[in-house]
Each structure stands twice: as structure tokens, then as C-alpha cells.
């Protein structure tokens, strides 16, 4: 019986999918019938192992492409591989991201460059090549992972917040430009989600963040992955240029 | 159909123009060949010849003549 989300036979690329939200999204998309292209900057061995896991668990098609999303030439080469293998792309999840926080006055140039390269330039690079492949079928869904910090800000997160606010701006403009080609572009702004990114937080900050969530619980990667599935599927076929908060009513 | 005819077909279908106006003088900015149509043209050429053009080539493809030169880099002879 087919999935109600209607992504069977579609080809999806998830950046930063070796762990956390990206890996969970890859599994959810594979479970619902998509072929999944995995990407991460981490070792190819980890990615290959993830790929084997997907194939074994969901009997799906999958390939692993190790590249740095902030490296234009590497991204171009990766999309050539996607073209050679599948000739198409239906779903892009721009998930790869990095988090380097510092208070104003202590922000290093390399932190800004690295964060914006991964979180912002990487989104544009992947979006641009993905749109070209999607244009061939005059259909596609691009989902950019932003952050609640990019919407409302947070002290100590000038760099990360700026890079994620840019993701929202990219999403809004790309949605307008690509809508006539039936390519939808939306963003998800996760709140406090249980991933490796929050591991360095002190207990005090952890509690502070948790207390700001009205639902009084931390989000799971599955919560974000399910929103990704919705935006990837035809259930959202008339939705573009939106920022969907997945934050349990978090107020920062 | 030879490669020139295939390229003309990609131009006529994507730009919605007559094959009679597709010649070496046809360039970006003329007829219906604007920035929106350019990406449709690129997709049409890529589909017709089963290739994926590099970004620089997409940007440089400013005329029918130039398109033939660029496709030469992908082993497509005219």
C-alpha cells in the first residue's frame, strides 16, 4: 500500500545527514518511499555505513556523497553525480549546519566565515543546482532548515542567528523566483531539539531553554523530520515561501 | 536528427520561437530569451543532450553560436 505522503519514486538529497535531524529526515523520507542521497562533510565510511543501514532497513535506493556544502566546486561535482545516477532531483533538504557561538566582542573572523559558508552559502549553492535538476521535471520541493534564533534572535548567537536569518531571506526570495517553475521553497525553524548541537550546553542553560518551551519538553529530531516529510510531500503542494516553526511554543 | 537540429529544437521549444529565427546571430536579450527563459533553455539543452552544464557555462551561454562552442566542451560536435 502506498504512502499517503506520496513521495514514492522521488529522489531526495539531505545535506548533513550523517547524524541528528538530517539522519532522521533521511530515514523518514526513505521509509516513505524516496531514494535518498546522503551527504555530510564527515568521513565517507560513516556515510557509507548510513547508506547501507537505509538500504537494509527500508529497501530503498541510496547513494552517499561526501562534500563540503560551502565549497562551490564540490557542490557542483556532487550534483553531476546526482545527474549521472538519477537524472533528476525532487526533494532537497538543506540541513547541513554549524553552530559557533560567542558574545559580541569575542567573535572571530574565521567563526563568521565558517558559519556563513556552511549555513548560508551552502544553502544557496545546493538550492541553485537542485533547482536546475528540478526544472527538468517542472516540479520540486526545497526545504531549508533555519532556526528559531534566525527568527527572533538570542544573546550570544549573533553569528549563528545571522546565518539562519539569511536562510529565511533566501527561502522567501527563492520561493518567489521558483514558483512559476512549480518548485516550492520553504523553511523550517526548529526550536530546542535534542541533537549533538545542544550537548555542550551547561545544565543551567539547558534548563533555561527547556523552561522557555511552552510544551515543557525538548523536541525530538523526529518532530522536525515529520515536518520535512510534510513539506516534501504533495500534502503541501500549494505551500511555498513559508517558515514553519517546530518549537513546541518556544519563546526565546 | 543531427546535433544542430537537436540544438535548434531545444531553442525553439524552450524560447517558443520559430526555427527560422534560430541562427548564429540569435543572442540573449533578443526575442523571448530573457533571464527566466534562459534557465528553461538550459534545462531543454541538458535534457536533449543528456548532460549537466557547469555553472560558468550556463552564465556564458549568451548566443546560439556560443551554445555550440560550449557544447563542444562536452563532446558534442557541430
Please check whether residue A102 touches B, CB under 8 A: no
B48: closest chain A residue by CA:
A136
Cβ distance A135 to B40 less than 8 Å, yes or no, reads: yes
What is residue A245's three-state secondary structure?
strand
Cβ distance A80 to B46 less than 8 Å, yes or no, reads: no
Cβ contact A16:A39 at 8 Å: yes
CA of B46 vs chain A CAs: smallest distance (Å): 9
Rg of the Cα atoms in chain B:
11
Q: Calculate mean pLDDT across residues A22-30.
A: 98
Question: Which A residues 114-133 touch B at CB under 8 Å?
Answer: 128-129, 131-133
CA end-to-end span of chain A = 43
Residue A240 CA to residue A243 CA, distance in Å, equals 9
Percentage of chain A modeled with pLDDT above 70 = 98
Q: How many beta-carbon pairs under 8 angstroms link A with B?
A: 25
Given a cut of 50, whether residue A246 has pLDDT beyond it is: yes
Residues of B in contact with A133 (CB under 8 A): 52
Cβ distance A180 to B36 less than 8 Å, yes or no, reads: yes
Q: Calculate mean pLDDT across residues A156-176.
A: 97
Residue B41 CA to residue B62 CA, distance in Å, equals 11
Please check whether residue A136 touches B, CB under 8 A: yes
Residue A9 CA to residue A34 CA, distance in Å, equals 5
What is residue B36's predicted lDDT score, i.e. its pLDDT? 83
Produce one character per residue of B42-78: b if its CB has 16 or more CB atoms within 10 Å, e if not: bbbbbbbbebbbbbebbeebebbeebbebbeeeebee
Instruction: Note the CATH number of domain A11-245.
Output: 3.40.50.720
In the block, residue with C-alpha cell 534562459: B38
Residue A231 CA to residue A93 CA, distance in Å, equals 10
B3-72: CATH superfamily:
ACP-like (1.10.1200.10)
What is residue A198's predicted lDDT score, i.e. its pLDDT? 86
For residue A227, count other CB atoms closer than 10 A to its CB. Answer: 22
Q: Calculate mean pLDDT across residues A168-184.
A: 96
Residue A12 CA to residue A95 CA, distance in Å, equals 12
What is residue A199's predicted lDDT score, i.e. its pLDDT? 87
Q: Calculate mean pLDDT across residues A227-243.
A: 97
Which residues have C-beta within 8 Å of that of residue A177, sequence separation ≥ 6? none
- pLDDT tens string A132-165: 999 988 999 999 999 999 999 999 999 999 999 9
C-alpha cell at B48: 536533449
CA of A132 vs chain B CAs: smallest distance (Å): 7
What is residue A1's predicted lDDT score, i.e. its pLDDT? 47
- pLDDT tens string B21-65: 999 999 999 878 988 899 899 999 999 999 999 999 999 999 999
Q: Calculate mean pLDDT across residues A78-107.
A: 95
* Every domain of chain A and the residues it spans: 11-245
Task: Please list the alpha-helical segments (H only) found in A61-157.
Answer: 72-86, 109-116, 122-137, 148-152
Cβ distance A135 to B47 less than 8 Å, yes or no, reads: no
Q: Calculate mean pLDDT across residues A246-250.
A: 97
In the block, residue with C-alpha cell 526545497: A142
B45: closest chain A residue by CA:
A136
* Closest by CA position to A92, among listed A170, A150, A180, A197: A170
Please check whether residue A79 touches B, CB under 8 A: yes
CA of B43 vs chain A CAs: smallest distance (Å): 6
What is residue A2's predicted lDDT score, i.e. its pLDDT? 53
Given a cut of 90, whether residue A227 has pLDDT beyond it is: yes
CA of A136 vs chain B CAs: smallest distance (Å): 6
Catalytic amino acids of A? Answer: 160
* Every domain of chain B and the residues it spans: 3-72
Residues of B in contact with A129 (CB under 8 A): 55
Cβ distance B36 to A128 less than 8 Å, yes or no, reads: no
A76: closest chain B residue by CA:
B54
- Smallest Cβ–Cβ distance between B52 and the set A79, A131, A180 belongs to A79
- Smallest Cβ–Cβ distance between B52 and the set A72, A80, A128 belongs to A80
CA of A184 vs chain B CAs: smallest distance (Å): 16
Percentage of chain A modeled with pLDDT above 90 = 91
Amino acid at each position: 500500500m502506498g504512502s499517503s505522503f506520496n513521495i514514492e519514486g522521488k529522489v531526495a538529497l539531505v545535506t548533513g545527514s550523517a547524524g541528528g535531524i538530517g539522519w532522521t529526515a533521511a530515514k523518514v523520507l526513505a521509509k516513505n518511499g524516496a531514494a535518498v542521497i546522503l551527504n555530510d562533510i564527515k568521513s565517507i565510511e560513516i556515510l557509507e555505513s548510513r547508506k547501507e543501514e537505509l538500504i537494509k532497513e527500508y529497501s530503498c535506493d541510496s547513494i552517499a556523497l561526501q562534500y563540503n556544502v560551502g565549497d562551490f566546486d564540490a557542490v557542483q561535482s556532487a550534483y553531476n553525480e546526482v545527474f549521472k545516477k538519477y537524472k533528476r532531483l525532487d526533494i532537497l533538504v538543506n540541513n547541513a549546519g554549524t553552530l559557533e557561538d560567542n558574545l559580541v566582542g569575542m567573535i572571530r573572523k574565521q567563526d563568521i566565515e565558517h558559519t556563513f559558508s556552511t549555513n548560508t552559502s551552502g544553502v544557496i549553492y545546493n538550492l541553485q543546482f537542485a533547482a536546475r535538476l528540478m526544472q527538468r521535471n517542472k516540479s520540486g520541493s526545497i526545504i531549508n532548515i533555519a532556526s528559531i534564533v534566525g527568527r527572533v534572535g538570542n544573546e550570544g548567537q549573533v553569528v549563528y542567528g545571522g546565518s539562519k536569518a539569511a536562510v529565511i531571506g533566501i527561502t522567501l526570495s527563492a520561493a518567489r523566483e521558483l514558483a512559476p517553475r512549480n518548485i516550492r521553497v520553504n523553511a523550517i525553524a526548529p526550536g530546542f531539539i535534542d541533537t549533538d548541537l545542544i550537548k555542550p550546553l551547561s545544565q543551567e542553560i539547558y534548563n533555561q531553554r527547556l523552561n522557555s518551551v511552552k510544551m515543557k519538553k525538548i523536541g525530538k529530531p523526529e518532530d522536525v523530520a515529520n515536518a520535512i516529510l510534510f513539506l516534501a510531500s504533495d500534502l503541501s503542494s500549494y505551500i511555498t515561501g513559508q517558515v514553519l516553526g517546530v518549537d513546541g511554543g518556544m519563546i526565546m | 536528427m543531427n546535433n544542430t537540429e537537436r540544438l535548434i529544437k531545444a531553442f525553439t521549444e524552450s524560447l517558443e520561437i520559430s526555427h527560422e529565427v534560430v541562427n548564429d546571430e540569435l543572442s540573449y536579450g533578443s526575442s523571448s530569451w530573457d533571464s527566466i527563459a534562459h534557465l528553461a533553455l538550459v534545462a531543454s539543452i541538458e535534457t536533449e543532450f543528456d548532460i549537466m552544464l557547469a555553472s560558468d557555462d550556463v552564465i556564458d551561454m549568451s548566443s546560439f553560436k556560443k551554445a555550440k562552442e560550449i557544447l563542444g566542451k562536452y563532446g558534442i560536435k557541430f
